[in-house]
Amino acid sequence: MSASIIGLQEWFQTPAGRYLLAWESAQLDAAVADIFGYHAIQLGLAAVDGLRCNRMPHQWLALNPLAPDADLQPGLRALALYTDFSALPFPASSLDLVVLPHTLEFSQDPHATLREVERVLVPEGRLVIAGLNPASLWGLQQRRSRLYQRFGLARQFLPDSGEFIASWRLRDWLHLLSFEVELHDFGCYRPGLHSEHWMQRLDWMDRVGARWWPIFGAAYFMVAVKRVRGMRLLGPAWKAKPVRAGQSVSLTHHSSGYSIWENKD
C-alpha cells in the first residue's frame, strides 16, 4: 500500500500529474465551498488539499498508517490522523463531509472503505470522490505501458498498484449503499505526456473533448448524498400568527367575574 501512495505522490510532480491536480483542485474547491456542517475529513493523498475551501470548524487529513512521514510537509505531519480507512475512529453518523481523492483506487478493499464512509456520515452528509477513468486515453496508455513493461520496453504511465474504477461501476456501489449522486463530471482530455510544452499546446483538446466526447475524460468527479430511507428532514417550526393592530375582538364574561378579550380571528 505504501509503495503505491509514494508513487502517486511523485507522479503528481510530472507534467501530466500537475495538469490533473489543477483540474481536480478546481473541482474540489467549487464542490466543498458550499457544504456546511461541523466535521469534515479527507482520506489519503496529502498532495491534494480537498478541504481548503470548506468552512467547517473541525477538519482532518487521514492517512494510511503505512504511509511514511516523509510524504507530508512538517506543518501537516502533526495534524494528520493515521488510521485504517476501513475502520475509522469516529462514531456512526458523526461526519458531515468525506473527501476521497483517488482513495478507492489505491485501497486494498474499496468496498470496505465505502461501507465505513457510509457508517460515519450523517444523514444527508456529502461524499466527494475524484477518480481516474479507465475508458480514456490515460486508461489506454496505462494498459499499453503494463503490456510493454512485461518485456522491459517501457515504464508504467501511472503507479502500478493503482486500479482504475469505472465511474458507472462506482455509481452502482454508491446506489447499493443508499447514496444519491448529485454531481458527476469528467475532465482532462489531453493525453498524458512527459513534456510540459506539448501538454500546454494541446489545451484545445479540453474544449473539444468536453463538447464531443465528455465521458472519455481522463478523470471523473462525483458528489453523492447519503440518503436514509424513511427519514424526513423537518424545517423550522411555524411561528404563531401575530395579532395585527386594529383587529376586531369581542368582550366575553368569565366565570370569575373578570372580563377578558377574546380574539375572533
**147-172 per-position pLDDT tens digit:** 656 665 555 566 655 678 999 999 99
Task: Band the pLDDT of 7: cuts 50, 70, 90.
Answer: low
Distance of CA 72 to the CA centre of its chain: 21
Q: Is residue 161 part of a domain?
A: yes
Q: Is residue 265 part of a domain?
A: no
**What CATH number is attached to the domain comprising 33?**
3.40.50.150
Contacts from 73-78 at CB under 8 Å and sequence distance 24+? 73/46, 76/46
For residue 5, the model assigns a pLDDT of: 42
Domain total of the chain: 1
Which range is most confident: 66-70, 174-178, 240-244? Answer: 174-178
Q: Is residue 47 part of a domain?
A: yes
For residue 214, the model assigns a pLDDT of: 86
Write down the mean pLDDT value for the chain.
Answer: 80
Q: Is residue 35 part of a domain?
A: yes
Q: What are phi and psi of 57, to 5 degrees?
A: -70, -25
For the stretch 116-144, pLDDT in tens is: 999 999 999 999 999 999 888 887 877 77
pTM above 0.85, yes or no: no
Spatial distance between the Cα atoms of 154 and 139, rounded to a whole number of angstroms:
16
For residue 131, the model assigns a pLDDT of: 93
- Residue 237 clears pLDDT 80, i.e. is over it: no
* Over residues 58-85, mean pLDDT: 68
C-alpha cell at 28: 474540489
CA distances from 118 to 68, 77, 123, 134 (A): 27, 27, 9, 25
* Domain assignment of residue 92, given as a range: 2-235
Q: Is residue 77 part of a domain?
A: yes
Q: Is residue 253 part of a domain?
A: no
Whether residue 125 contacts residue 97, with contact meaning beta carbons closer than 8 Å, is answered with yes
Q: Is residue 244 part of a domain?
A: no
Straight-line distance from the first to the last Cα atom of the chain, in angstroms, rounded to the nearest whole number: 71
Q: Is residue 251 part of a domain?
A: no
Sign of CA dihedral 20, 22, 23, 29: positive
Spatial distance between the Cα atoms of 179 and 240, rounded to a whole number of angstroms:
37
